[in-house]
Amino acid sequence: MTTAITDINTIWSLVLDIVRDELNTPSFKTWFEHTAPVELTDDGVFVVGVQNEFARNWLEERYSQRLSSALKQVVGVELAVRILVDQNSSQEEEADEDQRVEEPVVQQAPSAPDKKNTRHEFDPKYTFDSFVVGESNDFARNVALAVAEQPGLKYNPLFLWGGPGLGKTHLLQAIGIYVTQNFPHKKVIYVTSEQFTNDYVDSITAKSHDSFRQKYRSVDVLLIDDIQFLENKQSIQEQFFNTFNELKHRGKAVVLASDRRPQDINMEERYRSRFASGLQADIQPPTYETRLAILKQFVETQNIPFEDAALAYVAERSTPNIREMEGAVIRIIAYRELSKKQIVDLPMVEQVTKDIFLDRSHRPIPITSIQREVCRYYSISHAELIGSKRSQSIVYPRQVAMYLARELTDMSLPKIGNEFGGRDHTTVMHAFAKIQKLMSQRDVYNQIQQITSSIRQKA
Ligand code: ADP
Ligand code: MG
């Protein structure tokens, strides 16, 4: 059961999803990033604009087959593809021509997870400026800033801990952004402990242990997120411990984040006490006032007018998990667009959130029940959901399930990727952004609301 999609932008972005999955990143970036749909003619020609003659020839020669078959998967019927030079899709006129001439290499195993991709781009949203301070988090925020201002000199290691969705990742990334901006020569790495683990495992299988050491021991600031995942992983703990000792010894900064205190992480005592040897700062659940301030900022950056009473309602009902609170607001915003109302008022918020805030006790939702409901809703099997099939009737439900996993559980992106057949965290990120965008279509919005409601009711 797929949605009937008629909007060319949506069609094209779904086609790109399929192609992206099949190509390596540089090829995709070079050839597809600056394409744009132009029109779907009455006689069944899908017209795509590219930025220059060169790109047009290349796409026609190399990729027209691939594009036709991806299009067919999306719309269900055979369409002709025409590619033309369209100034509007030109964003990179000055780009290096040499790079474009490079032969695109097709991955041998397109669905294999790309574990090497550990360089996590910082999310520009996560700065100190955008971090709303309240009594629940001001200590953690201030010490994080102190580390960013003088990396390695203060509070080394800094250990941040607190429940899910309270801002740990935000603070780690804020440190990373601050340091890269103010000390451009310093090398900063942000990884989750799972990515660190993957890197290590890869270096063993590829017998490139030196490059692993080289990478992690040459940094000035190492930011490691979600270190609770190192629990019960002896050899990784040891590896991490060695890296840590060397960095600490050379006066390099290490910042760790975890969803619980060091004492409550199950690992060898000598490691644990070492990680706890610097400063520990906890983040507590935000008060109503802080939640409201965060919400205000969030809707202001999105430029959406909310009535005060509507914001207060969300701040009041929401769980302390800010990710969930933002998830609720994203749905409200999508609903507003559909209903074509100017301002978000209280009745609208009550209507949209009646299922979201249903479960006040806030029991964690297992990812298995999200997957089960999504499979049921779209009539696909669990094996298909987590498998490697890339037909649109599977890709779309898979993206919906990833979206819901991100919104409704406390799992990190790599962990979610794992639960979907070992996909990379960037795939999950992409799915999230994708569905969030698609939610401004009524049918997609309704599907997400219905699935959430059945997940909540069965939780
Ligand atoms: P954690 O890593 O603790 O699970 P995140 O850092 O991912 O939580 O935060 C979840 C969401 O809430 C992010 O979008 C983040 O920007 C937002 N958030 C958390 N705390 C704050 C804050 N104090 N001010 C603004 N946004 C916040
Ligand atoms: Mg986090």
**Residue 341 CB partners (closer than 8 Å, separation 6+):** 348
DSSP 252: -
Q: Which ligand is nearest to the CA of 171?
A: 1
Determine whether the shortest distance from the Cβ of 86 to ligand 1 is under 6 A: no
Among 370, 447, 351, 350, CA closest to 416: 370
**pLDDT above 50 for 102:** no
What's the mean pLDDT in 176-187?
A: 94
Tell me the C-alpha distance between 292 and 274, whole Å: 38
**Residue 159 CB partners (closer than 8 Å, separation 6+):** 255, 256, 257, 258, 262, 275, 276, 278, 279, 280, 281
The per-residue pLDDT of the chain, averaged, comes to 84
Q: Which of 23-27, 338-342, 344-348 has the lowest mean pLDDT?
A: 23-27
For residue 424, what are its two tokens? 């990379």
360 — pLDDT class (breaks 50, 70, 90): low
pLDDT at 39: 86
Q: Which ligand is nearest to the CA of 164?
A: 1
Centre of ligand 1 to C-alpha 302, Å, is 16
Per-residue pLDDT of 383-410, as tens digits, reads 999 999 888 889 999 999 999 999 888 8
What's the mean pLDDT in 146-154?
A: 92
Highest mean pLDDT among 31-40, 164-173, 423-432: 164-173
pLDDT at 24: 65
Q: Is 429 helix (H, G, I), strand (E, B) or coil?
A: helix
pLDDT at 358: 58
Is the backbone peptide bond immediately before 305 cis, with ω within 30 degrees of 0? no
Task: Using alpha carbons only, give the angle 30, 123, 289 rounded to the nearest 5 degrees.
Answer: 150
Specify the residue with its C-alpha closest to ligand 1, atom 21: 167
Centre of ligand 1 to C-alpha 168, Å, is 7
Kindly give the residue spans of alpha helices, DSSP state H, lying in 232-306.
234-249, 269-275, 288-302
**pLDDT above 70 for 101:** no
Tell me the C-alpha distance between 404 and 327, whole Å: 10
- Candidate from 128, 136, 170, 292 with most ligand 1 atoms within 8 A of CB, to mutate: 170
For 152-213, the DSSP string reads TTSSSSEEEEESTTSSHHHHHHHHHHHHHHH-TTS-EEEEEHHHHHHHHHHHHHTT-HHHHH
Tell me the C-alpha distance between 26 and 29, whole Å: 5
* DSSP bridge partners of 39: 47
Q: Which of 171-180, 200-209, 293-302 has the lowest mean pLDDT?
A: 200-209
Determine whether the shortest distance from the Cβ of 318 to ligand 1 is under 6 A: no
241 compared with 101, residue with greater pLDDT: 241
- Candidate from 322, 428, 436 with most ligand 1 atoms within 8 A of CB, to mutate: 322
pLDDT at 201: 86
**CA 318 to chain CA mean position, Å:** 22
Q: Which atom of ligand 1 is nearest to the CA of 164?
A: 4
What kind and span of H or E run contains 279?
strand 279-283
For residue 122, what are its two tokens? 């910082």
Determine whether the shortest distance from the Cβ of 132 to ligand 1 is under 6 A: yes
Centre of ligand 2 to C-alpha 307, Å, is 30
148 — pLDDT class (breaks 50, 70, 90): very high
For residue 270, what are its two tokens? 């000598």
Determine whether the shortest distance from the Cβ of 131 to ligand 1 is under 6 A: yes
* DSSP bridge partners of 281: 160
97 — pLDDT class (breaks 50, 70, 90): very low
Query: Which region, left, alpha or beta, applies to residue 155 given φ > 0 means left and ψ of -120 to 50 means alpha?
Result: left
pLDDT at 408: 87
**pLDDT above 80 for 437:** yes
pLDDT at 6: 66
Determine whether the shortest distance from the Cβ of 168 to ligand 1 is under 6 A: yes
% of the chain beyond a pLDDT of 90: 44
pLDDT at 459: 74
Give the pairing of strands 188-192 and 221-225: parallel
What kind and span of H or E run contains 222?
strand 221-225
pLDDT at 26: 59
Determine whether the shortest distance from the Cβ of 415 to ligand 1 is under 6 A: no
91 compared with 260, residue with greater pLDDT: 260
Q: Which atom of ligand 1 is nearest to the CA of 259?
A: 3
Residue where the block lists tokens 């960095």: 247
Q: Which atom of ligand 1 is nearest to the CA of 322?
A: 12
Is residue 253 within 8 Å of 152, Cβ to Cβ?
A: yes
Determine whether the shortest distance from the Cβ of 140 to ligand 1 is under 6 A: no
Tell me the C-alpha distance between 317 and 333, whole Å: 17
Specify the residue with its C-alpha closest to ligand 1, atom 4: 165
Q: Which of 24-38, 42-56, 111-125, 214-228 has the lowest mean pLDDT?
A: 111-125
Centre of ligand 1 to C-alpha 166, Å, is 5
Among 22, 81, 6, 10, CA closest to 391: 22
Centre of ligand 1 to C-alpha 130, Å, is 10
248 — pLDDT class (breaks 50, 70, 90): very high
Tell me the C-alpha distance between 90 and 206, whole Å: 40
Tell me the C-alpha distance between 3 and 5, whole Å: 6
- Cα–Cα distances (Å) from 147 to 130, 151, 177, 228, 244, in that order, read 18, 5, 12, 22, 16
Determine whether the shortest distance from the Cβ of 166 to ligand 1 is under 6 A: yes
% of the chain beyond a pLDDT of 70: 88
Q: Is 304 helix (H, G, I), strand (E, B) or coil?
A: coil
Q: Which of 20-34, 123-137, 145-159 has the lowest mean pLDDT?
A: 20-34
